[in-house]
Structure 1
């Protein structure tokens, strides 16, 4: 009988203790109070947020003339020096503006572009596969550009350690336009003057010498994927197809 009473007493004590534990756990924990960051008290004047940008990647044309025959890896190389102005109320957002240099190289196969023509009214693209032609041939345009960006950085104190994105525009003035051919071949494919032979021809008369392009980029830290699309045509409207250049590439940024 004593054993039975002892067992009942033990079971009762266990039940009471278990109930007390559950009641203790059921007590609501006090809510944590979130402290709002006062960005006005944080000095962000020396933060690294893309004060320089180097860009490299692929270039292409929309609305290219049917007579053009692109071939090879067309590419661009750009670099810009930028000022970054964060919003006082929320420095995750900022405005970037700057100045820099851009170049575009569009390669062609079995093509000659007569940019120095004094008789043609439209930019002449000539197929020269069955005549003398260059093994490597490109059209290069160089620009001085002023980019303007609306920026976002997930980590406003150290933007080079978080996600970042930007959209904007860049405004450019053409410095040069020229064609460059290397290693002139005859119709049978034999080199005429040797591999070291190079010919450059300069002229801007067929081209619009100012442009506006829409830009965007997104990335992490100092590396971003960028893209741009020219809203103005490369070739003058009276000189042939409008031709809207576009680019996709990599941005390396910092400082």
Structure 2
């Protein structure tokens, strides 16, 4: 009987040690929130007089961020990644072409009977984040605050103007800043997270002029961020 009791004790101890090792390895190696998808409402910042947005300007963003914990509890981390961003901006800025020159004008949408006027941008982005969360290796609902910086490179742009006077479609014009960069913030609990991006430079470069003034407009994106392991 005493040998049987000893055998049970050894088995119980062995199972406990195995679970301890498994949990230790789990906590040692786990990472959080490495894939992301976001939907945003896009705003133009510092607009010139007369320029306004209409309709719903949307953004769609997906990517991967390598989560790199920097403390033993793994609730603080640095994230570095790569992603893709698609954005549209509905507004009353007419972008047309005269010869080889790109022209910018504020449109009277009622007079021209404008049915569509927007420009769109497509970027490869590199996000860099400082991350804090209340997660553990086995808890998937937790608070998070991720703040950081995002650098984007515009790989493509397009404009579309449809009115009773003319239809104009332009592609890859050189009036946009190829490099876009700004500050980011994601805050939330579980699946639902508020996300914001504040652009630090103009979406247009010095080639974009309204009358004699440079179009120095930034962008702001507000929306929801979804993270996946």
Q: Would the TM-score normalized by the shorter structure come out above 0.5?
A: yes
Q: What's the TM-score, normalizing by structure 1?
A: 0.70
CA distance in 1 between partners of 2:34 and 2:181 (Å): 22
1:223: how far off? 2.2
Counterpart in the other structure of 2:86: 103
In terms of fraction of residues, the more strand-rich structure is 2
Matches within 5 A, 1:47-86: 47=30, 49-86=32-69
Contact 2:88 2:119 in 1 (8 A): yes
Contact 1:139 1:180 in 2 (8 A): yes
Contact 2:149 2:183 in 1 (8 A): yes
SS at 2:140's partner residue?
Answer: helix
For structure 2, the 5+ residue unaligned runs are: 1-22, 209-213
1:224–1:159 distance in 2 versus 1, CA, 3 Å: farther
1:149: how far off? 0.7
> Does the alignment pair 1:234 with 2:208?
no
Matches within 5 A, 1:180-199: 180-181=160-161, 184-186=162-164
CA distance in 2 between partners of 1:73 and 1:135 (Å): 14
Counterpart in the other structure of 2:173: 204
1:72–1:157 distance in 2 versus 1, CA, 3 Å: same
Moved over 6 A (4+): none
Which structure has the bigger radius of gyration?
1
1:235: how far off? 1.1
> Does the alignment pair 1:220 with 2:202?
no
Counterpart in the other structure of 1:141: 121
Contact 1:99 1:146 in 2 (8 A): yes
Matches within 5 A, 1:111-190: 111-114=93-96, 118-119=100-101, 124-129=104-109, 132-158=112-138, 160-181=140-161, 184-186=162-164
CA distance in 2 between partners of 1:55 and 1:158 (Å): 24
CA distance in 2 between partners of 1:200 and 1:47 (Å): 48
Q: What's the TM-score, normalizing by structure 2?
A: 0.78
SS at 2:114's partner residue?
Answer: strand
1:88–1:42 distance in 2 versus 1, CA, 3 Å: farther
For structure 1, the 5+ residue unaligned runs are: 1-39, 193-197
Contact 1:115 1:203 in 2 (8 A): no
Give the root-mean-square deviation of aligned CA atoms. 2.6
SS at 1:43's partner residue?
Answer: helix
Contact 2:66 2:80 in 1 (8 A): yes
Superposed CA deviations along residues 63-114 of structure 1, whole A, max 9, x for unmatched, are 12224231111121101112111124331101111111011111024x5222
